Structure 1
Amino acid sequence: MNTVADSPQRPIDRWFAHYSGDHRNATNQLIHVICVPAILWSVIALLWCIPAPGTMFRPGFWAGLAMLASALFYYRASRALGLGMVVLFVLMGFSVRWLHDHYGTSVTLWSGIAVFVVAWIGQFVGHSKMFEGKRPSFFTDLTYLLIGPVWVLAKLYRKFGWSY
């Protein structure tokens, strides 16, 4: 059995090959295209609600730190996808900031929780026997929690004929 480490491809291609193997059903893929970005947004929203340390930092510090660390991971795997993820992080970060600035921490927190729960239910429905019939990839390796968003972005790149 080949593992991610056995293949001569780029690491991102190996991650995608394994992830795609667990996501062959068209309905499950569509669910992922909707739910994975929603989960990503909800995680940013939830991290936004964690109080910033000291007086030097603003709300969103932890979300910004997580987005930076993730962007570096993605950029190392693929510059084009890394830059695309930065664009998504900026857009999602601005939307969460707007929500937080206009409605406060409580609404941001509960919105994040609601989106997180509903999107994960969608993910598990997609992986149920009704559609995919396979366990989500992150059950084998937690790194796949980071691969999901960039896998969705790579699908968009391929649709537009962009290389990564």
Structure 2
Amino acid sequence: MRAIDQWFDQYGESHHNPINKLLHWICVPLITFAVLGILWAIHPWVSLIAVAAAMAFYVMLSWRIAAVMLVISLLMLLILWNMDVVLLPSIAIFVLAWIGQFIGHHLEGKKPSFFKDMQFLLIGPIWLIGALFRTLGLRY
């Protein structure tokens, strides 16, 4: 298994354009929320199982990053818990956020990382957290 720095370096290779980076800061959390929402609409337990599986992957990379991602995931689940309608807004957010992602990658001139390896779909959210850690001088 690759170390977290290797994942972040490889993911970062296609994320240099400032507009693409900005779009990722907006769209990646929205996509994460939308995926959890779609899974929640199937059944809340499905979204909880997905969070648990993602956490298992994240803990193997960095318990600190995993802890932050767990808090974010639980906040997203709390929002979903309090929503009356989940599926249609989640689908709309998912589609619009992916359009934003593909616009960003078009501007970047590089394909999204997940075309190389589907695991990069899990790396996107923690790549943002890793950037915050680096900005704050924290170890992950």
TM-score computed with the length of structure 2 as normaliser: 0.96
- Alpha-carbon distance between aligned partners in 1 of 2:32 and 2:129, rounded to the nearest angstrom: 12
Q: How far is the alpha carbon of 1:19 from its aligned partner?
A: 0.4
* Count of residue pairs brought into register by the alignment: 140
- Alpha-carbon distance between aligned partners in 1 of 2:29 and 2:60, rounded to the nearest angstrom: 21
Q: How far is the alpha carbon of 1:48 from its aligned partner?
A: 0.2
- Alpha-carbon distance between aligned partners in 2 of 1:95 and 1:156, rounded to the nearest angstrom: 23
* Runs of at least 4 residues off by over 2 Å: none
Matched with 1:62 is 46
- Alpha-carbon distance between aligned partners in 1 of 2:42 and 2:78, rounded to the nearest angstrom: 17
Higher relative contact order (CA 8 A, sep 6+): 2
Q: How far is the alpha carbon of 1:72 from its aligned partner?
A: 1.2
- Alpha-carbon distance between aligned partners in 1 of 2:134 and 2:26, rounded to the nearest angstrom: 17
Whether 1:157 and 2:129 are equivalent positions in the alignment is no
- Alpha-carbon distance between aligned partners in 2 of 1:39 and 1:86, rounded to the nearest angstrom: 16
Pairing of 1:12-161 with structure 2 (within 5 A): 12-51=4-43, 60-99=44-83, 103=84, 107-128=85-106, 131-161=107-137
- Alpha-carbon distance between aligned partners in 2 of 1:118 and 1:160, rounded to the nearest angstrom: 31
**Larger radius of gyration between Structure 1 and Structure 2:** 1
Q: How far is the alpha carbon of 1:161 from its aligned partner?
A: 2.1
- Alpha-carbon distance between aligned partners in 2 of 1:151 and 1:91, rounded to the nearest angstrom: 19
- Alpha-carbon distance between aligned partners in 2 of 1:94 and 1:158, rounded to the nearest angstrom: 28
- Alpha-carbon distance between aligned partners in 2 of 1:46 and 1:161, rounded to the nearest angstrom: 35
Percent identical pairs in the alignment equals: 44
- Alpha-carbon distance between aligned partners in 2 of 1:12 and 1:26, rounded to the nearest angstrom: 23
SS in 1 for 2:139: coil
- Alpha-carbon distance between aligned partners in 2 of 1:160 and 1:34, rounded to the nearest angstrom: 20
TM-score computed with the length of structure 1 as normaliser: 0.82
- Alpha-carbon distance between aligned partners in 2 of 1:96 and 1:154, rounded to the nearest angstrom: 25
Q: Name whichever structure is richer in helix by fraction.
A: 2
What are the superposed Cα offsets for residues 45-86 of structure 1, whole Å, 9 maximum, x if unpaired?
0000114xxxxxxxx100000001101110110011011111
